[in-house]
Structure 1
Amino acid sequence: MMRQMLQWPLRQWQLFCLALSFFSRIPVPGSTPYSPQLLNQSSRYLSLVGLLLGALQALVLAATTQLLPLSIAVLLALMAGLVLTGAFHEDGLADTADGLGGGLTFERKLEIMKDSRVGTYGLVALLSVFLIKWQSLLALDTEAIRALVLVAGLSRATAVSLTFVLPYQQLDAVSKTKPIATSLQKSALLWIWLFVLPLLYFIPWSLALSLVATLLFCFSLLFFYYRSQLQGYTGDLLGAAQQLTELSLYLVWLIWWRQQ
């Protein structure tokens, strides 16, 4: 019994490191074990990974604001996010925009999405989302630091929650697929939200309710849209879900901020 109690923290640390290695470029110990089963279990820490990434972006923003104009500081914080994740979610957004925007059939959509080249739809989506996020954080001013941390966690929790209500669309063996957890335990959903929802306590209740309503709206919209388009999800669709939810949360936060 005592041995099992001592092994549990080590196992959770390994799962967190595994999640960190798959969803960011942050180095983890080389001894971190991997298996498809462990990857599924590590998904419980995705929102915590998001909070860590958001905190690092907020740190960059806080540090550079003291030396540079706010517009440049926000831009550097966003670029730091791209470096930390290897543009993992942005790549999913671009592929999703190309596939769903340019494909007319189920097969053609998947074929376009697995193409490593970025098309017109993908480029427009990337530029539009990035520019709106930049301007939203710039307009949030001092509130941007808090928004970076919380939104990074909430958006990832929303994206991974889609895997509990949609089936995974398996691509063929030669396609450009992303490593992703596809068979998640119900208990993982509790873990995912447990890391982020309590943080809403530290922001005004009106803002917290607005963000929760936005999460529910984004989740519902993405669920019905993905089901109508591909009858399920892929890694690219989850990346797009994270980006679109993140953008929506920033905009709602900005609307609330401007009314204060």
Structure 2
Amino acid sequence: MKKELHIFFTCLMFYTRIPCPKNITHHPDYLNKATRYFPFIGWIVGSISFLAYSLFAQFLYTETAVICSIVISVLTTGAFHEDGFADVCDGFGGGWTKEKILLIMKDSAIGAYGAIGLVLLFLLKFRLLSESILLFQVYDSMAVFKIFLLFISAHSISRLAAISIIFTHEYAREDASSKSKPIAKQYTWKEVFGSFFFGLIPFIVLSYFDYKLILAVIPVFITRYFLTRYFQKWIGGYTGDCLGATQQVCEVVFYLSILFLWKFI
């Protein structure tokens, strides 16, 4: 149990800015095992984001409360995944060879592609999440609980889509310069089982209240498939930035899928 707690806190420290015990470090062995808890971090970030939304919604309009919840979620993770998304936009937008793409993604400066990508990403998150919440509030008697599950499910299943890439694809960089290198070396059935367990449970509970919502998983993993195919074509695998970009894109696709299913099916 003590070892599992250490692994969990290692995961929490690596993927968020939430304070952890002082004895927790980025030990490679624990980081490899921390993969199993990555979707569970989505439970935490999603819960914090929902609490922020609920608090601000008491005093502000829904749209403003949603913006505040997005800000809080970014602060909670330190923009870890958003940074990866921006780097991928810059790298694949400005590079035409594997070496050039990896070099651009390694650059800490943000370029035009990354800036434009982030603006569009946040606009989509804001609009899709706001519209989903408004629909739940109008048509559902259990709106608050379902909105809570929506927040958690979006964060957990998108993280599952991202972390599952390390189970199926090779790491692209030949050096140790990427943020994902410590978790790219090895994994066991525990990491696979833990990832899928924590990644799918909130979504399954949400689908229990409306069975048609289970279909939302299909577009998410279709998106994951095409992203990995694109990464494989251009750089021969994935990097930490690719995982971050996958999480962000799949989160948006999840909101879009839920909204489509709720309105049209």
The two structures have a TM-score, normalised by structure 2, of 0.89
Partner residue, 1:63: 55
Distance 1:215 1:186, change over 3 A: farther
Whole-angstrom distance in 1 between the partners of 2:74 and 2:21: 22
Contact persistence 1:20–1:49 (CA under 8 A):
yes
Separation of aligned partners in 2, 1:78 and 1:137: 10
Instruction: Please state how far the C-alpha of 1:202 moved relative to its aligned partner.
Output: 3.5
- Distance in structure 2 (CA, Å) of the matches to 1:171 and 1:245: 27
1:159-212 CA-to-partner distances (Å, cap 9, x unmatched) read: 000011111122546x5x32541123231111111113233134221101x222
How far did residue 219 of structure 1 move?
A: 2.1
Q: Which residue of 1 aligns with 2:78?
A: 86
How much has 1:257 moved relative to structure 2?
Answer: 2.2
**Aligned mate of 1:182, from 177, 181, 184:** 184
Query: Which position in structure 2 is the counterpart of 1:235?
Result: 240
State the partner residue of 1:151.
154
Q: Residue 186 and residue 219 in structure 1: after superposition, are their counterparts in 2 closer, same or farther (change >3 A)?
A: farther
* One-letter amino acid of the counterpart of residue 62, structure 2: L
Superposition misfits of 4+ residues, deviation over 4 angstroms: none
Partner of 1:3: none
Farther off after superposition, 44-53 or 139-148: 139-148
How many residue pairs align between the two structures? 249
CA contact (8 A) 2:156 2:200 kept: no
Aligned residue type for 1:206:
K
Q: Where do 5+ consecutive residues of structure 2 fail to align?
A: 138-145
Deviations 1:70-98, CA, capped at 9 Å, x for gaps: 11100000000110000000000000010
Identity %: 33
The aligned counterpart of 1:40 is: 32
| CA contact 1:166–1:233 (8 Å) conserved in 2 | yes
**Residues 1:136 and 2:128 are matched in the alignment:** yes
With over 3 angstroms needed to count, the CA separation of the structure-2 counterparts of 1:170 and 1:207, relative to structure 1, is same
Aligned-partner residue type, residue 226 of structure 1 = F
Shift of 1:36: 0.7
**TM (normalized to structure 1)?**
0.91
